[in-house]
């Protein structure tokens, strides 16, 4: 397939953000009577869902302490719900199961979910929480739990299958998805506006560019000569200079190769996605030794795409300069993408801490790429903004897969319609001190 020498919109990345942006953009152009052919193209150096999207856990949730994130996720959930079959979406719900230190935060999340009409129930109290969980799983045995937030919406999607469903919609509208093309730079004209996207197969002149490249956003940021260190005003008004724009975290995920139906509820139904945080000591399911007496958390779900029980635990920061982190989920240069034996020991022991049914299952743990390296912004929340006058960057800060609605909002902005849901995620918030509030969760993205 020959590379075009011109396109009105060039979208970089055939993952969740690139595909969803192209989808809504093509819909809008078609609705207005315009032809999409030759106007909108997607470039990807590998293939559809070949990067971080392809190894994502696929969880779709609204469990956020930050009001702006909660509203954005409610919008995204509505997009997932618009075509569950095409998106291979399973609307089983989501549960945040928490200790006393998180109770007030989670209670606030529930209250604010009610304000925006997002259906959920909140259970508080140790006895009440245990009874609620036992009514769903008769072998529930987790300790230190004093609240349960049960979101009735949300769930998970089969990651690559969902993206191929989305790609089918995109191509049916006339968008070209061109794979095997690597973007190597940008040609800039007056006022630093990008006039062409440079690739390993030649330049493509363009009017607007969208970058939805997941953890590779750091590289495109550098190509545009945007700052690697920034000024940040925190929520207390303190100004911090030379803060790293990007940080990389290893996302710890894996698969327990058992029948996914092992996690069915007492009623024989498929369960919600489960997320458990607790400060109860965690002991090894192998030899009874103490793994940790500090706060820990896991998430898990039955998943036929992964072939078992799939999930993860709290990530850890990669302690080396951002520019030195290799980003290649399937390449030998990035061993970080495969979680190690320490994770397997912790995660399977944590599953057994929560459910008796997982005792003795350590030999079933399967090591494969899942989770990957996440590229986080300075405050761990997305940056969605326009730079160089005509380049929109979706830096999802690893909140990515569940954010199916972001690309749709970006498409509306490309056509001149500012979106209120995106305003809290502008780059200017760092300097202006408009950061998102921080919860007591052990996760950097909650």
CATH code where residue 402 lies: 3.50.50.60
Is 164 part of a structural domain of the chain?
A: yes
Choose the final residue of a domain: 376, 410, 435: 376
339 and 297 inside one domain = yes
80 and 165 inside one domain = yes
Q: How far apart are CA 260 and CA 273, in angstroms?
A: 13
Domain that holds residue 395: 1-90+154-230+381-446
CB 14 within 8 Å of CB 49 = yes
Is 170 part of a structural domain of the chain?
A: yes
Give me the average pLDDT of each 10-residue run along the chain (446 residues).
90 96 97 94 92 82 90 95 96 96 93 93 98 98 97 93 95 97 96 96 97 94 96 95 92 90 97 96 96 94 90 82 67 42 91 97 79 85 97 93 95 97 98 88 63
69 and 10 inside one domain = yes
Is 394 part of a structural domain of the chain?
A: yes
For the whole model, what pTM was predicted? 0.92
Instruction: Count CB-CB contacts under 10 A for residue 317.
Output: 12
Matching residue, tokens 């698969």: 255
Number of domains in the chain: 2
275 and 357 inside one domain = yes
Is 191 part of a structural domain of the chain?
A: yes
DSSP string, 410-440: HHHHHTT---GGGGGG-TTHHHHT-PPP--S
Q: How far apart are CA 242 and CA 263, in angstroms?
A: 47
The continuous run of DSSP H or E covering 184 comes out as strand 183-188
Choose the final residue of a domain: 321, 355, 376: 376
CB 22 within 8 Å of CB 42 = yes
Is 237 part of a structural domain of the chain?
A: no
Per-residue pLDDT reduced to its tens digit, 209-249: 999 999 999 999 999 999 999 999 999 999 999 999 999 88
């Amino acid at each position: 397939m020959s590379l075009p020498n011109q396109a009105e919109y060039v979208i970089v990345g055939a993952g969740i953000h690139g595909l969803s942006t192209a989808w809504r953009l093509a819909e809008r152009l078609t609705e207005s009577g315009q032809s999409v052919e030759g106007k909108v193209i997607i470039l990807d150096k590998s293939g559809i869902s070949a990067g971080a999207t392809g190894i994502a856990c696929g969880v779709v949730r609204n469990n956020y302490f930050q009001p702006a994130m909660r509203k954005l996720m409610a919008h995204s959930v509505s997009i997932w719900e618009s075509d569950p079959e095409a998106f291979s979406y399973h609307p089983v719900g989501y549960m945040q199961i928490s200790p006393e230190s998180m109770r007030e935060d989670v209670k606030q999340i529930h209250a604010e979910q009610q304000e925006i009409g997002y259906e959920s129930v909140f259970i508080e109290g140790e006895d009440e929480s245990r009874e609620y969980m036992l009514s769903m799983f008769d072998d529930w045995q987790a300790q230190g739990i004093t609240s349960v937030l049960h979101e009735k919406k949300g769930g998970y999607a089969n990651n690559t299958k969902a993206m191929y469903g989305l790609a089918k919609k995109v191509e049916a509208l006339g968008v070209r998805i061109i794979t095997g093309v690597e973007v190597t730079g940008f040609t800039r004209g007056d006022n630093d506006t990008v006039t062409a996207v440079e690739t390993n197969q030649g330049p493509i002149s363009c009017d607007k560019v969208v970058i939805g490249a997941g953890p590779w956003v750091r590289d495109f940021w550098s190509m545009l000569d945007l700052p690697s260190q920034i000024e940040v005003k925190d929520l207390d008004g303190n100004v911090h200079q030379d803060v790293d724009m990007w940080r990389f975290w290893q996302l710890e995920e894996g698969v327990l190769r058992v029948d996914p139906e092992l996690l069915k509820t007492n009623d024989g139904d498929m369960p919600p996605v489960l997320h458990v945080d607790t400060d109860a000591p965690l002991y090894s399911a192998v030899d009874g030794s103490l793994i940790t007496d500090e706060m820990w958390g896991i998430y898990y779900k039955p998943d036929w795409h992964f072939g078992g029980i799939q999930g993860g635990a709290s990530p850890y920061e990669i302690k080396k300069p951002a520019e030195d982190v290799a980003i290649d989920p399937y390449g030998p240069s990035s061993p970080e993408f495969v979680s190690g034996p320490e994770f397997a020991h912790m995660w399977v022991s944590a599953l057994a801490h929560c459910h008796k049914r997982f005792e003795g299952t350590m030999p079933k743990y399967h090591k494969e790429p899942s989770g990957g390296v996440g590229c986080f912004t300075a405050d761990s929340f997305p940056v969605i903004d326009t730079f160089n006058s005509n380049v929109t960057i979706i830096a999802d800060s690893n909140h990515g897969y569940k954010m199916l609605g972001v690309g749709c909002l970006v498409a509306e902005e490309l056509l001149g319609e500012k979106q209120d849901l995106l305003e809290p995620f502008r780059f200017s918030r760092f300097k202006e001190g408009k950061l998102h509030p921080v919860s007591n969760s052990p996760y950097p993205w909650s």
